Amino acid sequence: MANTNKFMNILVAGGCGFVGSNICINLKKRNFNVLSVDNISKKYCKLNILRLKKFKIKNIKADIANEKELNKIKFKPDIIIDCAAEPAVEVSFKEPQKVLRNNLITTLNLLNIAKKNNSKFIFLSSSRIYPINVSYNYFRSKKKKLYSEKTSTEGVKTIYGFSKYSSEMLIKEFSYLFGIKFIINRLGLTSGPWQFGKVEQGLVSLWMWSHIKKKKLKYIGFGGSGSQIRDVLNIDDLNDLIYLQIKKMKKVQNQTFCVGGGKKSYFKLKNLTNYCSNITKNKINIVRSSKTSKNDIPYYITSNRKLKKFYNWQPKFTLFKTLEKLYIWMKKNESKLQEYF
């Protein structure tokens, strides 16, 4: 049977970010025709452009929030994957206009491209569309509750969460009015090689790099105890899911999914410290700051039950395996990565 992937055009918006660049490369390896569009606003994007070039993936530098710039791109996508976003929650507290522009207006402009070309649409949303109070309720519960597509979205979420939830609603409106077929993926923490973690984004890779380089770290909020809980999704697991979603989009469409590491990969922050210490053989002092940000949440673990039902997909990587992959990548490229963390 002939490989039809090479005849399918895929536009990845935000293709020079951590998630976007990995999706681009994975799809190119599977013989899709991939185009990245990114404004190269982050320093590490320059490294990712070099990675894309190795796989003969072109990036067009454009501001996706600028409709005129976007309309100049001569590419007819069969599928648009929207990874373009300002991912740092705390930025939304300081610069709400920037977050709404980069997270909501970008989606609007991409939907107009989808409408014009009759493109299908895959949107990478966020676990932060769920209200802050739900996280506190789950955290206090004796039972390890999982977030699902049925979990209430009613309540205060942060401006960042609002921007992603608004994009979800906008996609559904475009689908109703113009027949755009879509998939929405609500992602929690995602990590793996080529993630350049900062305090506000990329927690897992930041933790590993700081242990390798013996840098200071801080438990922030919730009494400074490191008791907050998260799960982590390996980028390779996400790549596999995106491929499945593309291949099955004729059968599975107009669906919303929670996507995360689930029970296999959840951790308390203080346990993440222990894992990183065991792998690197380095112990570092952790500063404790008890003051909790209004934007922070104490708890998030994903239910992947709906994904299992629709795609027979579930994460393969445990947290420890993801940390091992990060460690190997960081040690191999230590000198080159120094300036990006």
Give 189-234 as a DSSP string: EEE-TT----SSS-HHHHHHHHHHTT--EEEESGGGS---EEEEEE
Residues with Cβ within 8 Å of 123's Cβ and at least 6 positions away in sequence, in order, are: 82, 107, 167, 168, 171, 182, 183, 184, 185
Rg of the chain over Cα atoms, rounded to whole angstroms, equals 19
Determine, yes or no, domain membership for 12: yes
Q: Is residue 222 domain-resident?
A: no
**Which residue in 295, 234, 296, 301 sits closest to 268, CA to CA?**
301
Neighbours of 168 (CB within 10 A): 19
**Would residue 116 count as lying in a domain?**
yes
* Residue 109, domain extent: 8-194+232-263+298-315
Question: For the chain, which residues score pLDDT lower than 70?
Answer: 1-2
The pLDDT of residue 138 is 97
Helix boundaries (H) for the chain: 18-29, 45-54, 67-71, 89-94, 96-100, 106-117, 132-140, 159-178, 203-212, 235-247, 269-280, 305-311, 319-332, 334-337
Domain count for the chain: 1
Look at residue 224 and tell me if it is in a domain: no
Whether residue 145 is contained in a domain is answered as: yes
The pLDDT score that the predictor gives to residue 270 is 97
User: Which pTM does this prediction carry?
Assistant: 0.96
CA dist., res. 240 & res. 260, Å (int): 13
Q: What is the CATH number of the domain that holds 136?
A: 3.40.50.720
Crossing angle, helix 106-117 and helix 159-178, to 10 degrees? 20
* pLDDT at position 93: 81
Please tell me the predicted confidence (pLDDT) of residue 2.
Answer: 55
Written as one letter, the residue type at 81 is I
Angle of helix 203-212 relative to helix 269-280, nearest 10 degrees? 40
Q: Which of 204, 194, 206, 187 shows the shortest CA–CA distance to 49?
A: 194
